[in-house]
Amino acid sequence: MTDLFTPLDLGHTTLKNRFLMGSMHTGLEEAKDGFHKMAEFYAQRARGGVGLIVTGGIAPNLQGRLSPFGTQLSFPWQVKKHKKVTKAVHENGSKICLQILHAGRYGYHPLIVSASNTKAPISPFKARKITKLEIKKTIFDFANTARLAQKAGYDGVEIMGSEGYFLNQFLAPKTNLRKDEYGGSFENRSRIVQEVIQAIRKKVGEKFIIIYRLSMIDLIKDGQSLEEVITLAKSLKDLGVDIINTGIGWHEARIPTIATMVPRAAFVFISQQIKKEVSIPVITTNRINNGDDAKKIVSEGIADMVSMARPFLADPDLVAKIEQNRDSEINTCIACNQACLDHIFKNKICSCLVNPKACHETEFKNSKTSSKNILVLGAGPAGLAFSIEAASLGHRVTIVEKNTEIGGQFNLAKVIPGKEEFHETIRYFETMIKKYEIDLKLNTPITIEDLKPLGQFGQGYDEYVFSTGVVPRVPQIKGIENKKVLTYPEAIRNPDQVGKRVAIIGAGGIGFDTAEILLHSQSTDSVQEFFDHWGIDSLYKERGAIKSKVKPSPKREIFLLQRKTSKHGAGLGKTTGWIHRQSLKDHEVQMLGGVKYKEINDQGLVIDHENQEKLLEVDNIILCSGQYSDNKLYSDSKSVLKKRTHLIGGAKLAQEIDAKRAIDEGVRLAHSL
């Protein structure tokens, strides 16, 4: 039986296992000294055991760049910097392919071209219809980039033909309105793909890996049909392709495909269907973040390889831990997008919420220091991240936590429908506490007396780290003491005690999360339920594999209120905020902005909205109106403990309960001591 660690023979070369580190643009490609930093980033993943790495997308020419200053590989003088990357990967035992990505109408600059004159909803620029002469030049540019990649030491290239980029734009009737030999019939629409592959194979010879990233399911109206996808897939071997990689959905599709609310391995069905039609290896992808799913996919013949991208941000040693049966030590990707994709769309360097060292490896020396005794007050994300990092560097760490479990605010997040992955982060913290023999004292509240010289924690520690978290903010509203009023922790922990009609005060992330848990009867990761909600046709009856959404049956009637007149959830993640807003809209949540809160009484909540006083007759009013830093103990202790105190996480800054910032602060503090 084939398993994840069975080598994959491609004829002219062999991959040592069935793991692919999928393509991710990191922002290092354009950063100062970025290729040096990128070399260390990929080297760590190679040391961690991954069989094959694919780089972030590199443009073949100026028109194909993702951004005005985006990276391209077109000239011999550019080869040298890429050699830093390939050398680092090869020295650590892995192979690496360069992804050639022509953005087409997805480019964020005025020089973009596409199959036709069209404008993508995710770019402010309208694409110009590429001429036939320019098509020939672009085909040459693809082949030229592949040849330069070969000279730079790459083991192959991946041709980006999915996610709605340039080649995909030729394949779909939605964006290909041409009347010449590159438009009309599928034979014509796929012509450029075939010519690009043939030109690359001719330029690089036979002993060079070519992966084609095939859009197997476009998830847009007037996308490709299943028959067309299969037809192209069947032709790829004869064209010179070694491996077919799976592409899921266009970037402009209003359907989530990789965010945390997408069930694990939800889209492997289409890879399996295509695999039955072809004789070359097929890679599957999207929301695969653990060894068990990966093992099942390969052992059951669903696909020949498994692509994980963000999971390698979260844990560079992912493959080694799976091979050594250390799955509980995996720092699992929670698919939040907050530090990876959200950063990229803000022109920031990519990283990872649960592993802030990702893409910043050169900033951390990871060397052992003189050992200190450290007391950490609070076992939320910031305190736990600090403790584990400090213990790994050789410090002796004690954690005291007033509650009976670790995790802090993550214990609220983990029960929100669509955020179940937060369980994994808490599991990881628990495992590492045991591994590094951290002294964990639960159910241990501390007062200032305990920190004084004669107190139980007043001596024997070199440093004190306060990560005492936040407390919910209670707004000043007449009648706020009414029994109808609940704080968000009370509502999230006891949703069955909340009535059928609810007003939520506050439309930030916590307000959205509270609405989600109250709308669903129970948490679910049903793939079919997800497909029905978002209109995904797994039977692929129509082009693009989309269908009408199944109208959900909300469990409650909810009013989501905010004082601001701006968009609800304006502070949510750039790549996931639209998903949360659409979900609440689908569940008929009434979103009201510009609200003034007048009074809470036994009938409900009295508000002023659009210059009219209204009574919302609700069973409960839930306060999601922000938080205060719980840092009084820290303030009181400074005179006692002097300069040995540190403040991190929500206790330092309560705004938005930013776990990304909290974990980053914890890890960086550990390296600063």
Backbone phi, psi, residue 636, to 5°:
-65, -30
506 Cβ contact partners less than 8 Å away, ≥ 6 residues apart: 561, 562, 623, 624, 625, 626
Q: What is the dihedral of CA 413, 419, 421, 424, to 10 degrees?
A: 10
Alpha helices in 21-78 (DSSP H): 34-47
Burial 228-242 (b: 16+ CB within 10 A, else e): bbbebbeebeebbbb
Cα 355 to Cα 317, 470, 666: the distances in Å are 12, 22, 11
Question: Residue 140 is encoded by which pair of tokens?
Answer: 């040459």
3-state secondary structure of 485: strand
Q: In 264-409, which ranges are continuous DSSP H helix? A: 268-275, 291-299, 310-314, 318-323, 341-344, 381-392
Strands (E), 431-567: 439-441, 463-466, 470-472, 485-487, 501-505, 557-561
- Exposure of 306 in the CB half-sphere (CA atoms within 13 A): 33
Give the number of other CB atoms < 10 A from CB of residue 87. 14
| Helices within 360-508 (DSSP H only) | 381-392, 410-413, 422-435, 448-451, 488-493
Answer whether 584's CB lies under 8 Å from 571's CB: no
Name the β-bridge partners of 482.
none
pLDDT of residue 533: 93
Residues 6+ away with beta carbon under 8 Å from 483 = none
> Active site residue: 42, 106, 154, 165, which one?
165
CA distance 373 to 82: 44
Residue pair 296/8 in contact by the 8 Å Cβ criterion? no
The neighbour count for residue 247, using CB atoms within 10 Å, is: 25
355 torsion bin: left (phi>0), alpha (psi -120 to 50), beta (else): beta
Counted residue by residue, the chain has a size of 673
Calculate ∠ Cα 155-157-162, nearest 5°: 150
Domain with CATH 3.50.50.60 in the chain: 474-520+555-625
Residues 6+ apart with CB under 8 A from 560: 504, 507, 511, 512, 515, 568, 584, 589, 590, 591, 592
User: Going by C-beta distance under 8 Å and a sequence separation of 6 or more, which residues neighbour residue 460?
Assistant: 373
CATH 3.20.20.70 in the chain, residue ranges: 8-363
Rounded CA-CA distance 515/569 in Å is 12
Largest CA distance in the chain: 87
Q: Does domain 474-520+555-625 have CATH number 3.30.450.40?
A: no
594: left (phi over 0), alpha (psi -120 to 50) or beta: left
217 within 8 A of 168, measured Cβ to Cβ = no
- d(C-alpha 20, C-alpha 196), whole Å: 23
For 337, which DSSP code? -
pLDDT < 50: residue spans in the chain: none
d(CA 304, CA 283): 6
Query: Tell me, what's the pLDDT at 422?
Result: 96
Q: Is 672 helix (H, G, I), strand (E, B) or coil?
A: helix
Q: What pLDDT shows up at residue 642?
A: 81
Please state which architecture CATH assigns to domain 373-471+628-672: 3-Layer(aba) Sandwich (3.40)
Residue 655 confidence (pLDDT): 77
436 part of the active site: no
Which of 668, 21, 30 lies closest to 348 in space, CA to CA?
30
Q: Which CATH class for the 8-363 domain?
A: alpha beta
Give the per-residue pLDDT at 520. 85
DSSP-assigned beta bridge partners for residue 558? 502
How far is it, in rounded angstroms, from Cα 171 to Cα 192? 9
CATH 3.40.50.720 domain span(s) along the chain: 373-471+628-672
334 CB contacts (<8 Å, ≥6 apart)? 260, 314, 353, 354, 419, 421, 422, 424, 425
Q: Give the Cβ contact number of residue 253 at 10 Å.
A: 21
What confidence score (pLDDT) does residue 366 get? 72
DSSP secondary structure letter of residue 478: B
Cα 26 to Cα 97: distance, rounded to the nearest angstrom: 16
